[in-house]
Amino acid sequence: MKQRAIAIGIFWVILLTVLTLRAPGFFAGGNLRDMALSNAPALLVAVGMTLVILMGEIDVSVGSQFAVATVVAGLAAKSGLPLGLTVLVTAIAGALLGSLNGALIIGLRVPSIVATLAAMAFWRELLRWTTGGAWIQGLPASFQWMGLSQAGGEIVIFAATALIFGFFAWAMRNLRAGRGIYAIGSASEAARLAGIPVAGLSFSVFALLGALTGLAAALNAMRFSEVQPNAGAGLELKAISAVVIGGASISGGRGNLWGTLLGAAVLAVIAPSLTFLGINAFWEKAIQGGIILGAIVLERAAAGKRSARAH
Amino acid sequence: MRIENRAGSERALVGLILLEILIFAIFGPNFFTTGNAFEIVRLGVELGLLALALTPVIVSGGIDLSVGSMMGLCAVAFGYLWRDAHLPVWAAGSCTLAIGLAGGALNAILISRFKAAPLIVTLGTYSLFRGIAEGLTRGVDNFSQFPPSFLALGQGYIGGIVPAQMPVFVLFTAGFYLLLHRSIYGRAMRAVGFSPSGARWAGIPVENRLVLAYTLSGFTAAVASLIYVAHLGQAKSDAGTGYELLAITAVVLGGTAITGGKGSIFGTLLGLCAIVILQNGLRLAALPAELSGILTSAILVGTIAIGRLKSAPPKPEIDQAEDEVKNSQVAVLSAVILAGALIVAGTNVWLVRSLKGPETKAASGNKVVVGMLPKAKGDPYFVSCKRGAEASAAENGVELIWDGPTDVDPAKQNEIVEAWITRGVSTVAVSVVNAPGISTVLRKAREKGIKVLTWDADAEPNARDFFINQATPQGIGSTLADEAAAILGNKGDFAIVTGALSAANQNEWIKYIKQTVAEKYPGMNLVAIRPSDDDRDRAFAETQTLLKVYPNMKAVIVISAPAVPGAGEAVKQSGRKDVKVTGLSLPNLCKPYVHAGVVQSVVLWDTQNLGYLTVLASKLAAEGTLHAGVTSIDAGKLGKLEVKGDNVLLGKPMVFNKANIDKFDF
């Protein structure tokens, strides 16, 4: 599946070259910073999603989890909880939602796509029903940027994202749990026989994805001074696309976080680069779909060539 | 892989459906009638076709996420072929079906020849098909005025009672039943779902069977799309949004294993019934639409989980269950349908005898019942309208039913009005998403003696009695252009951040903004239009990019309530003091940004008064005080309001700025 990441990488370089020639302003420090900030929460979710997909499972409920966690963050801050605690409570709320998925999937053996499809509708609709779409306003002034200056807040978001990404990129190669996830995705029964606690580890990965989604929601909410309850619409597609574009196999066992980073980076530049190049927004979705399909075809072509050489 | 007792899970589903029918027969006025039974069929056809097509796909161990987007692409293609290529309807329809086949074949080839996972391929075509539809129409184009002979396919009745699309659905059900249960192809798909390599060893041409499943899926989506267009009377790029998830839910609820190898058309029909009856029943019982999503997902997980709990802990089991539909099951199905029909017919006779007339206004005595329909329930703008409507209902002794789509689905509004017609209400008040789409249903409501009002956005004038006119699109467009001109000093660059690209209202406003600029402000230049999908965070990111790409752009017009604070935040964080935002939003959402000086002004009318007036006018219309020829009405706390022709005028749009915004709380 390396070929897919390479195919995408080639596409990315072409796009960046076009941007260098046609719209050099794209690479101004300010623009890169803003794009990275806007996409940092999605990257955090994609990190968790990578682990889930490496296990051969999927979670389509992260967008709804993100919305619930965002509202939790708003309510916690409004109730006067200190900011550190607010972030913690939000991450815990996310972890609980993730654990519930995990319990259904591992405990009751409901297929993950079914369980999380149900969770997606359930939490989104429950949130709509209870909040009626009302925003949470009048938050303490210190909510935005965690009481720091704008630059300080941005640094915190960057640092947290980079730290978490770096840790997992390291852990997937070096920790027993990380290798265990690959083992489960390759052959779950073999992993169990090899002494890997399959059930416990699988459950933890779903809870972890929830916690990362909650943390992402908290960090995202703190870029603003008010909380909107319909946050995270379409986040599940964005996260899954990032993982898949990055070369992970949807049936598990193959892929890595650097691929996901590449996938997230490609998705992040599409919308802004269209604006920079003056291309109409109406073609955005078609281009996104075209990239995924193009990657599949290129990957296959590359793999075909290689196997022809081997013969 | 274990085989569960499928007959057991189907019995449970039948029980569930009967329970739903029982509950809604008690709590949903006019739920248990022949007319409503056929209405349910009509509403379920598009979704049902997709679910039928997805059954073989899922049985073969795959999935197709692109069917909803395919409906959008086919709707648009049909519109172009008929209107712009001047093809006759049958030819345009045939070409559309060919496009469906081609799209399905694209999925099929990528999955079978390129060996890519179905989830990834169809995730790609999910974006691609919708993207092409949006790109071709630029989100704006909207095809309508199809010939009545075509519309009859989606709106007509055969013999006065059977919906016209029913024969199509029956045909496809039979076709898919034969394919999956009575042919070697279905047998092969099942084998592929169990084990592709095993199937290959058994001599099954795995690739060809997969090609068949996915191509059929694309074709059936095209058929569903044609019926959808005929049903709504309108073809637009957003047709079928979100249908793929509901269709998958129906299939899985019907006992088809998402991992493949096992499933039946009969089960899919049951799953479909459970979902559609729940949606319809909740509407008739005037319960919030969100409950349908909540309950459906609970039922979905519940049925599977209970099945797992009942079955023994995991241990290898020998396949004993015969996976074909037995004749005994067919007999049970026929018996259930027959019994259901008898009960419904019997009750109908009883109802007609006891009521001696139309079933409307059965439930609530003399109290006026007003069904009020916003464009979308979660939108802060409509949340604010609702507050005014509720206050008015309490003050004027009106029973208010407030319901609307929870997400962008133009078909939902029609379904809700249909449900209210069946339920029986005194007045329907609609904020219209699609004028040509909903007008047929509104005319039907008027025929049944229900008063029809429109508010916020109008339908076709002959489809309603009165329009509660808060401000015309022209008034809004020109006011916004004036505000931008004031920011720019009549010349310079500005950009527009809109809601969804295909949102009808927003596109109307953009048209008038452009028109006003062309006529009054030749020095002003529109540099870009970007979508926000009514998401504050996306509006924020889009505005950030605009600020960098167009350094000379000094004004941003934002025409989506949640997007204005997003754009304001982007300007604020950029530190640019020379750029200002104006737009259409709620004062409460924008106060901090207006005071910070980044949002120059917000244009809107008093939304709570709009809700208040709509409910009051609905009551007056139902009681006959508001009728054709009236020139003014006494509007309670709003005083005397002018009625001009068939428009009740609320007043001009207001401009909120630093000076006055704190006086308003909505």
Q: Which residue out of B296, B545, B586, B662 would a mutagenesis test of the A interface target, given it has the greatest number of A Cβ atoms within 10 Å?
A: B545
Q: What is the DSSP string of B17-55?
A: HHHHHHHHHHHSTT-SSHHHHHHHHHHHHHHHHHHHHHH
**Partners of B495 in the beta sheet?**
B528, B556
Dist CA B378 CA A151 (whole Å): 33
Do residue B530 and residue A281 have CB atoms under 8 angstroms apart? yes
Q: Nearest-CA neighbor of A46 among A221, A164, A183, A158? A: A164
Could you give the 3-state DSSP secondary structure of residue A78? helix
Residue of B nearest to A230 (CA): B535
Do residue B293 and residue A122 have CB atoms under 8 angstroms apart? yes
- Angle B332-B338-B343 from CA coordinates, rounded to 5°: 125
Contact A291, A11 (CB under 8 A): yes
Do residue A230 and residue B380 have CB atoms under 8 angstroms apart? no
Residue A82 contacts by C-beta under 8 Å, 6 or more apart in sequence?
none
Mean pLDDT of chain B: 86
Report chain A (311 residues): mean pLDDT per 10 consecutive residues.
76 87 85 91 96 95 96 93 92 97 92 92 90 84 85 92 96 93 93 93 97 96 90 90 88 91 90 85 86 82 62 49
Residue positions counted in chain A? 311
Task: For each of the domains in chain A, give its residue range(s) and CATH number, in order of start.
Answer: 2-303 (1.10.3470)
User: How much is the average pLDDT of B443-460?
Assistant: 89
Strands B580-584 and B632-634: unpaired
Helix %, strand %, coil % of chain A (to 5): 80, 0, 20
Burial of B278: CB neighbours in 10 Å, binned 0-12, 13-18, 19+: buried
Of residues A132 and B542, which shows the higher confidence score? B542
Q: Does A110 touch chain B (CB under 8 A)?
A: yes
Q: Does B537 touch chain A (CB under 8 A)?
A: yes
- pLDDT tens digits for range B577-589: 999 999 999 898 8
Rg (alpha carbons) of chain B, rounded to whole number: 27
Find where tokens 């070409």 sit: B95
Do residue B297 and residue A284 have CB atoms under 8 angstroms apart? no
Dist CA B504 CA B236 (whole Å): 10
Of B216-225, B266-275, B377-386, the one with minimum mean pLDDT is B377-386
Do residue B130 and residue A293 have CB atoms under 8 angstroms apart? no
Contact B613, B638 (CB under 8 A): yes
Task: For each of the domains in chain B, give its residue range(s) and CATH number, in order of start.
Answer: 6-315+324-348 (1.10.3470), 369-471+608-655 (3.40.50.2300), 473-604 (3.40.50.2300)
Cβ under 8 Å to A: B residues 450-489: none
- Angle A9-A12-A13 from CA coordinates, rounded to 5°: 90
CA distance B201 to chain A (A): 22
Whether the per-residue pLDDT at B3 is higher than 50: the answer is no
CA distance B18 to chain A (A): 22
CA distance A108 to chain B (A): 6
Ramachandran angles phi, psi of B492, nearest 5°: 130, -175
In the numeric block, which tokens belong to residue B133?
């539809």
Q: Nearest-CA neighbor of B560 among B613, B602, B607? A: B602
Do residue B291 and residue A119 have CB atoms under 8 angstroms apart? no
Contact B656, B602 (CB under 8 A): yes
User: How much is the average pLDDT of B181-186?
Assistant: 93
Kindly list the residues from chain B whose CB atom is less than 8 angstroms away from the CB atom of residue A115.
301
Distance from chain centroid for Cα B53: 21
Q: Does A244 touch chain B (CB under 8 A)?
A: yes
Cβ under 8 Å to B: A residues 30-89: 30-31, 34-35, 38, 58
Kindly list the residues from chain B whose CB atom is less than 8 angstroms away from the CB atom of residue A272.
541, 545
Whether the per-residue pLDDT at B190 is higher than 70: the answer is yes
Do residue A28 and residue B548 have CB atoms under 8 angstroms apart? yes
Do residue A117 and residue B300 have CB atoms under 8 angstroms apart? yes
Q: Does A116 touch chain B (CB under 8 A)?
A: no
How much is the pLDDT for A304? Answer: 67
Burial of B397: CB neighbours in 10 Å, binned 0-12, 13-18, 19+: exposed
DSSP secondary structure code for residue A104 in this structure:
I
Neighbours of B357 (CB within 10 A): 8
How much is the pLDDT for B325? Answer: 47
Of A104, A119, A289, the CB nearest to B124: A289
Residue B58 contacts by C-beta under 8 Å, 6 or more apart in sequence?
B193, B248, B251, B252, B256, B257, B258, B260, B263
- For B637, the enclosing helix (H) or strand (E) is none
User: How much is the average pLDDT of B27-40?
Assistant: 83
Buried b / exposed e along B629-653 (16+ C-beta atoms within 10 A) = eeeebebeebeebebeebbbbbbeb
Strands B369-373 and B427-430: parallel
Q: Does B300 touch chain A (CB under 8 A)?
A: yes
CA distance B226 to chain A (A): 22
Residue B642 contacts by C-beta under 8 Å, 6 or more apart in sequence?
B631, B632, B648, B649
Dist CA B472 CA B509 (whole Å): 9
Q: Does A22 touch chain B (CB under 8 A)?
A: no
- Angle A145-A215-A63 from CA coordinates, rounded to 5°: 110
Q: Does B116 touch chain A (CB under 8 A)?
A: yes
In the numeric block, which tokens belong to residue A30?
């300010």
CA distance B191 to chain A (A): 19
CA distance B127 to chain A (A): 5
- pLDDT tens digits for range B84-127: 999 999 999 999 999 999 999 999 999 998 888 899 899 999 99
Kindly list the residues from chain B whose CB atom is less than 8 angstroms away from the CB atom of residue A281.
501, 529-531
Report in angstroms the alpha-carbon separations of B218 from B73, B150, B584: 11, 21, 40
- pLDDT tens digits for range B555-603: 999 999 899 999 999 999 998 999 999 999 989 889 989 999 999 999 9
Dist CA A245 CA A223 (whole Å): 28
Kindly list the residues from chain B whose CB atom is less than 8 angstroms away from the CB atom of residue A58.
119
Of A30, A111, A120, the CB nearest to B258: A111
Neighbours of A171 (CB within 10 A): 16
Report in angstroms the alpha-carbon separations of B420 from A88, B287, B360: 46, 12, 10
Q: What is the DSSP string of A152-216?
A: HHHHHHHHHHHHHHHHHHHHHHHSHHHHHHHHHHH-HHHHHHTT--HHHHHHHHHHHHHHHHHHH
CA distance B290 to chain A (A): 5
**Partners of B469 in the beta sheet?**
B649
Ramachandran angles phi, psi of B91, nearest 5°: -70, -45
- pLDDT tens digits for range B149-164: 898 888 888 887 788 8
Do residue A114 and residue B406 have CB atoms under 8 angstroms apart? no
Q: Does A125 touch chain B (CB under 8 A)?
A: yes
How much is the pLDDT for A306? Answer: 60
**Partners of B466 in the beta sheet?**
B453
Q: Does B318 touch chain A (CB under 8 A)?
A: no
Of B115, B535, B588, the CB nearest to A230: B535
Do residue B378 and residue A229 have CB atoms under 8 angstroms apart? yes
Rg (alpha carbons) of chain A, rounded to whole number: 20
Kindly list the residues from chain A whose CB atom is less than 8 angstroms away from the CB atom of residue B377.
128, 132-133
How much is the pLDDT for B357? Answer: 39
Report in angstroms the alpha-carbon separations of B655 from B355, B480, B565, B605, B658: 52, 9, 16, 8, 10
- The H-assigned helical ranges of B138-256 are 148-155, 166-181, 184-194, 196-201, 206-232, 243-253
Helices and strands of chain B, counted as H and E runs: 23, 18
Do residue B123 and residue A240 have CB atoms under 8 angstroms apart? yes
Strands B427-430 and B466-469: unpaired
How much is the pLDDT for B8? Answer: 66
Percent of chain B topping pLDDT 70: 90
Q: Does A14 touch chain B (CB under 8 A)?
A: no
Of residues B651 and B358, which shows the higher confidence score? B651
How much is the pLDDT for B364? Answer: 45
Contact B537, B509 (CB under 8 A): no
Ramachandran angles phi, psi of B647, nearest 5°: -115, 125
CA distance A177 to chain B (A): 25
Could you give the 3-state DSSP secondary structure of residue B316? coil
Kindly list the residues from chain B whose CB atom is less than 8 angstroms away from the CB atom of residue A253.
none
Distance from chain centroid for Cα B131: 18
- For B367, the enclosing helix (H) or strand (E) is none
Q: Does A124 touch chain B (CB under 8 A)?
A: yes
Dist CA B538 CA B566 (whole Å): 8
